[in-house]
Amino acid sequence: MGAMKLWLTADAPDSRWQAQAGQIYAISRSFARNPLAMLGAVIVGLLVLVAMFAPWLAPYSPTGQNLSMRLMPPSAENWLGTDELGRDILSRIIHGSRITLLIVVMVAVISAPLGLLIGAIAGYFGGWTDRVLMAVTDVFLSLPKLIMALAFVAALGAGLQNAIIAIAVTAWPAYARIARAETLTFRNSEFIAAVQLQGASNMRIIGLHVLPLCMSSTIIRVTLDMAGIILTAAGLGFLGLGAQPPLPEWGAMISRGRSFILDQWWVATMPGLAIIIISLGFCFLGDGLRDVLDPRQRDGR
């Protein structure tokens, strides 16, 4: 263990690989020192684990109805109670974590690279390219996210896939703005001029020199946005435009519980709690990443 640590923190690493391992070690150490960030990481980690092992963790089937057990309060058998069709709410939440994770990951995978690329290209080339791309971005930014997602789903038809596409379409403009602003700060700096002088192509400069510098702020922003994405997905589900029954989507579950909210509070509250906890987890994680991902800040401490 001691030798390992010495190797990782070596002042003069012998290879590129050791240097990178040392860097990752330094990042994870400063991350581990931040309790809220760790809490966020634990919550998100748990979400991933639960989603992976949902069929084994869930005590009952998420769709199996049992009308003799409908609307039972939380008890030893049904820890979080049952809904109006006698389905176990805990099992539904556990299976629902898969849908939530799928939405969050797919939206991030679609919208973050798209936004980054558009923003970096606009910032790097400037002039007309910038004006056209940013005009498009502004049009998307000027509409409220949920309303626009609603419009897209209405056009594409309800369903999980279309909900993901709709949310991704509404999420990228923010990343494009961030990437453009970041790019502008170093567009004319000498290290960019130096690679241009070496004969690098524009695509190479954007891909290898500009994008890595926009990366950390985008990762932070995406993580912080995860909460919003989950809420938008839940909102779509609540309005019946997201995942369709009997899929155990959390927003749709709240929507079903609305009719019983005064007498059988657990039906709507439990999936609501799940949404709150996961959203908080992503927020904490994003805040922690912000403190950690900048190597200049890391050495300051």
Partner 1 sequence: MNPALHVENLFVRYGRVDVVKGVSFSVAKGKSYALVGESGSGKSTILRAIVGMAPDWRGKTLIDGETQVAYGNLDFARHCQMVFQDPYASLHPRRTVDATLLEPLKIHGIGGGSAKVADMLEAVGLDRRFRYRFPHQLSGGQRQRVAIARALMLEPHLLLLDEPTSALDVSVQAEILNLLVRLRQERGLTYLLVTHSLPVVSFLCDRLGVLRQGGMVEQAGIEVLREGTFAKPYAQELYASSLGAGDRARQKSLPMAPETEKDV
| 12, 67, 76, 262: residue in contact with partner 1 (rule CB under 8 A) | 12
Among 24, 32, 143, 194, binds partner 1 (CB under 8 A): 194
Using CA atoms, how far apart are residues 258 and 269, in angstroms rounded to an integer? Answer: 9
Which residues lie below 8 Å from residue 156, measured CB to CB, with a gap of 6+? Answer: 162, 165, 166
Are the C-beta atoms of residues 118 and 209 closer than 8 Å to each other? no
Q: Which is nearer to partner 1, 158 or 213 (CB)?
A: 213
Is position 190 an interface residue for partner 1 (rule: CB under 8 A)? yes
Among 146, 184, 195, 231, binds partner 1 (CB under 8 A): 195
Helix (H, G, I), strand (E, B) or coil at 14: coil
Region from 95-103, 160-168, 183-191, 224-232 binding partner 1, contact rule CB under 8 A: 183-191
Q: Which of 29, 33, 204, 258 binds partner 1 (CB under 8 A)?
A: 204
Site string for partner 1, 212-251 (x = CB under 8 A): xx--------------------------------------
119 CB-side CA count, 13 A: 29
**What is the token pair recorded at 148?**
């626009």
CA–CA distance, 221 with 282 (Å, rounded to integer):
11
Q: How many residues bind partner 1 (CB under 8 A)?
A: 27
Q: For 107, how many CA atoms within 13 A lie in the half-sphere containing its CB? A: 31
Asked if 11 interacts with partner 1 (CB under 8 A), we say: yes
Which residue, 208 or 261, is less far from partner 1 as judged by CB? 208
Cα–Cα distance between 94 and 98 in angstroms, integer?
8
Amino acid residing at 272: G
Residue 183: CB minimum distance to partner 1, A: 14
Rounded Cα gap, residues 280 and 274, in angstroms: 10
In the bound state with partner 1, the residue whose beta carbon lies nearer, of 231 and 293, is: 293
Give the contacts of 191 (CB within 8 A, at least 6 positions apart).
209
Tell me how far, at minimum, the Cβ of 196 lies from partner 1, in Å: 6
Positions touching partner 1 (CB under 8 A) are 11-13, 16, 18-19, 189-191, 193-202, 204, 208-209, 212-213, 295-296, 299
